[in-house]
Structure 1
Amino acid sequence: MNIILELNHLKQVSLPTRPVVCKGLFIVIALIVLRAIVSPFLAVNPSEKEGFYDPTADLLPGIRRGKFIEVPQIIWGLNNQKIAFARACLTARFLNRSLLMPSLSASLFYKEVDLLRPITFDKVFDFTKFNARCQGFVRLARYSEVSNQTKPFKLQKGTGRRWTADKDLDQLQQYRRSKADDSEVIEIVGKNPFLWPDHWPVKDYAKIFDCLVLVTEIETEVVKVISKIREAGQRARHEAGSSHSKQRRDSSTNPPVPYVAVHMRIEKDWMIHCKKWEQRSKSHEICSSKEEIIHKVSQITDLHRPVVVYLAVADSLLEDDSITSGWRVGMVAYEKKKLGVTDIYDRQPYLIKSAIDFEVCSRTDVFVGNSFSTFSNLVVLSRTERLYNLGKASSCGENIGLSSYAYNVMGDDGGPQRWMTDMSDTSLQRLSYGTNNVSCH
């Protein structure tokens, strides 16, 4: 009897709450329906995912948003600047900090530092896409993120032969745990701090280089140059009576015509430098004349002739203006002037010119370069990274696409040596200073 009375009492108490419960249930159902309707419109298109960067997303544990590394203006050639930038990123990563967006150098002066024409990173490479592609690995920050609550701690980097890689790493480990870590900004100072000894494996550099995407304005120029090269290839095939007939020359129905890019190091300054290099190292596989390069390239077996050969060369330092002559039958050589793209290059500073040529070489079907050139080494590194992403760890044997060769090293077949970067290398030493120990895996 007591139980029945208690149940009746509970019913009387719960009755007034029923309208509230029903109302709450109705709201939940309405939210679920609304989400089902709206979600498709809010979803990110898979084609738009590249470059999508969530600035509020969690970073790799340890990389702090409120702690920064600052480096001075980065100088020298494009690829030395890319290496220096990557080294700065990896140093910031080691110290669990974000790298403040550095200035690059638009012009090329080795000693006149006041003439280096600084250019901010985001005038060359896409800031947002870099952080999107490298999210969780390294992070770039803008100076507007700094609160200036504490004075920057100045970290002096050593230079010279006595400043070894071990000493440099010991310094970084020391300041990682010292009171300097309390500072909001650690400022790297010293003479040419981009010459820090190397501590990072090649694969880490490759990761950062892969995050570097040209801004739209420069990318547009790259596309124009490559289009001109492929158009020249269409003409060469048509004139040779190839299978591309008049009815099939429309690029919208045919695959793009392949081209070869050759990084032709025969400029006066390079020849003086490499001859001295050969004497010191007692090697004969550093320099190559125009005739030697032409002979080596003509030995490549995976070229389907006729083929356009684009010659990437520093025109202003070139004394031989006949580089497009003397090529074998079926190999049509073009440089900037003959291709009709000098206007694209002439209106750009040095750094942008180099960036355009780098992409033209990186995206070619076959690349041929010099294994003692930093430019050639980083092009091959880029192409090797793409092959690895495709699951291909070797380019030996038959052509697998994205082939690269070193024309200064003799291959087993008498032609240039097939070339892939050793992605297991623990140092960038061989890429920065060159080697004739290259292979196809």
Structure 2
Amino acid sequence: MNILLELKHLKPFSIPARLVICKGLLIVIALILLRAIVSPFLAIDSSEKKEFYESTAPDLLPRIRRDKFLEVPQIIWGLNNQKIAFARACLTARFLNRSLLMPSLSASLFYKEVDLLQPINFDKVFDFNKFNARCHGFVRLAQYSEVSNRTEPFKLQKGTGRRWTADRDLDQLQQSIGSNADDSEVIEIVGKNPFLWPDHWPVKDYAKIFDCLVLVPEIETEVVNVISKIREAGQRARHEAGSSHSKQRRDSSTNPPVPYVAVHMRIEKDWMIHCKKWEQRSKSHEICSSKEEIIHKVSQITDLHRPVVVYLAVADSLLEDDSITSGWRVGMVAYEKKKLGVTDVYDRQPYLIKSAIDFEVCSRADVFVGNSFSTFSNLVVLSRTERLYNLGKASSCGENIGLSSYAYNVMGGDGGPQRWMTDMSDGSLQRLSYGTNNVSCH
């Protein structure tokens, strides 16, 4: 209205000038109408925005088909081999533009007696809905109830052994797109040990999927319980070291949780036999480490403020040495499950859940120290590196930046363990799956 009033007091314009003014008025009116239409959506809070975008997912994400599925065999072996196999299945489904039917994991650990494997549903370990929410637009899990059984599954035979190379595997997947297999509602992967599939996918894709794996609330509660016990032990150590009682009773907002170190202590008898043979074949001396070597290396870490609690993640049932908590340097108080008083938490769980709890305890530690030839240690460091990258930190060299990780089997420049971050630019998971002593803080 103000514009119109001002126009009445203007001197007469030529016809071209009047046309320009009219066009300007139309633009202003159009902008006002556009704001009125858009403003309701701008007012939506973050949770409502999430629901809005997810509700339109089928239209926004045409590549991830909801009416085409990939099915894989039961996933077996250790926790981290199962996580790798699951991620490969997700990425294979993504390559084929399909949803992955929720696979069955293995709660027990048998290497050869496959008939003795105890299956466990994926959603008994990891949160199904949170996985799809966090991986929205990247990969998608589906329930078997979504399958209409319109056609017979197309069986896709996966090869094994040395002849089945990564190139052959990728060529098979490429040929499946646009073929008869693509017409089937379900492509069923047939083959032995899917965790041995040749690798096509970069590390960052694996990291994305691992980041989407959230433990179900029941297991998360157990993780929190174990970490609380570790931090309580740290409070006691500080108090016994002379910290004033008043400081210990401060409000948690001014007194942050006591930090702890998690050490993946690979000294079990099966590991020592395996790694000694590995060292002989590779002519390397940076794979195995004794208890004394690990203690010495960990004590050299400069960003530890003592007293500090050291949590030892170890397969207790395979230990021949039950004195792993002794021999540590002054100011380093070592705890394992029994000494910490959490054996009941682990004893009531199957193998897979025990490993999942230990993995999270290590992953969330203030400092983690592991073996660079261990898949468990590698995936813990990958998880921590992903978190550092999300914080905008692409290097852990120099001063302590938090979430520090070290490889105790590799000598660092200062005589202690080598600082360790995952190379997120790596084109395959080869080094993480099979180990390497070529680690750095990038």
Tell me the distance in 2 between the aligned counterparts of 1:181 and 1:77: 32
User: In terms of mean alpha carbon deviation, does 357-366 or 112-121 score higher?
Assistant: 112-121
State the 1:54 CA deviation: 2.7
In structure 1, what is the Cα distance between the partners aligned to 2:305 and 2:7? 91
Distance 1:408-1:182 versus aligned 2 partners, 3 A rule: same
1:291-330 CA-to-partner distances (Å, cap 9, x unmatched) read: 0000000000000000000000001111110000000000
Pick closer, same or farther for the CA change 1:408–1:44 going to 2, 3 Å: farther
Change (3 A) 1:350 1:53: farther
Deviations 1:42-78 (A, max 9, x none): 9876589899983651453421110000001000000
Pair 1:34–1:215, CA change in 2 (3 A): farther
SS of residue matched to 1:52: helix
Cα separation, 1, equivalents of 2:11 and 2:297: 95
- More displaced stretch, 237-246 vs 6-15: 6-15
Q: 1:135 maps to which residue?
A: 136
Q: Distance in 1 between matches of 2:145 and 2:430?
A: 35
- Matched position secondary structure for 2:189: strand
1:245, distance to aligned residue in structure 2 (A)? 3.6
Separation in 2 of the partners of 1:192 and 1:76? 9
Give me the TM-score of the superposition, normalised by structure 2: 0.89
Tell me how large the CA RMSD over aligned residues is. 6.5
Counterparts of 1:322 and 1:53, CA distance in 2: 55
2:75–2:85: 8 Å Cα contact kept in structure 1? yes
8 Å CA contact retained: 1:229, 1:259: yes
- After superposition, give the CA deviation of every residue in 1:383-439 in whole Å (9 maximum; x if it has no partner): 000000011000000000000000000000000000000000000000000000000
Change (3 A) 1:114 1:305: same
CA distance in 2, matches of 1:54, 1:72: 29
Q: Do the aligned partners of residues 349 and 11 (structure 1) sit closer, same or farther apart at CA in structure 2, a change above 3 Å counting?
A: farther
Contact 2:74–2:105 (CA under 8 A) maintained in structure 1: yes
CA distance in 1, matches of 2:253, 2:313: 27
Mark the runs of 5 or more structure 1 residues left unpaired by the alignment: none
- Contact persistence 1:63–1:98 (CA under 8 A): yes
Paired with 2:30 and 2:9, the residues of 1 have a C-alpha distance of 33
Determine the structure 2 residue equivalent to 1:336. Answer: 337
Cα distance change on mapping 1:53 and 1:223 into 2, 3 Å = farther
SS of structure 2 residue aligned to 1:260: strand
In structure 2, relative to structure 1, the CA distance for the partners of 1:207 and 1:4 (3 Å cut) is closer
- The answer for the alignment partner of 1:63 in structure 2 is 64
Task: Name the stretch that deviates more: 39-48 or 343-352.
Answer: 39-48
Deviations 1:77-120 (A, max 9, x none): 00000000000000000001000000000010111112111001
Structure 2 unaligned segments of length 5 or more: list them.
none
Give 1:23 deviation, angstroms: 31
- 1:240–1:156: structure 2 CA closer, same or farther, 3 Å change rule? same
What is the CA–CA distance in structure 1 between the aligned matches of 2:4 and 2:434, rounded to whole Å?
Answer: 92
> TM-score under structure 1 normalisation?
0.89
Kindly tell me the number of residue pairs found equivalent between the two proteins. Answer: 441
Structure 1 residue 191 displacement after superposition: 1.2
Judged with a 3 Å threshold, the aligned counterparts in structure 2 of structure 1 residues 345 and 151 are, in CA distance, closer, same or farther, namely same
- Measure, in 2, the Cα distance between the counterparts of 1:273 and 1:52: 53
Query: 1 CA distance for matches of 2:282 and 2:384?
Result: 28
Comparing 36-45 with 360-369, greater Cα deviation is found at: 36-45
Q: Contact (CA 8 Å) 1:324, 1:335: kept in 2 or not?
A: yes
Q: 1:3 to 1:430 in 2, by over 3 A?
A: closer
The 1:106–1:7 alpha-carbon spacing in structure 2 relative to 1, beyond 3 Å, is: closer
After superposition, the Cα gap between the structure-2 partners of 1:344 and 1:51, relative to the gap in structure 1 and judged at 3 Å, is farther
Measure the CA separation in 2 of the matches of 1:232 and 1:3: 73
The CA deviation string for residues 339-384 of structure 1, in whole angstroms up to 9 with x for no partner, is 0000000000000000000000000000000000000000000000
1:25, distance to aligned residue in structure 2 (A): 23
Check 1:116–1:24 CA distance in 2 against 1; reply closer, same or farther (3 A cut). farther
Using the alignment, how far apart are the partners of 2:128 and 2:290 within structure 1?
Answer: 40
**In the alignment, which residue of structure 2 is the partner of 1:365?**
366
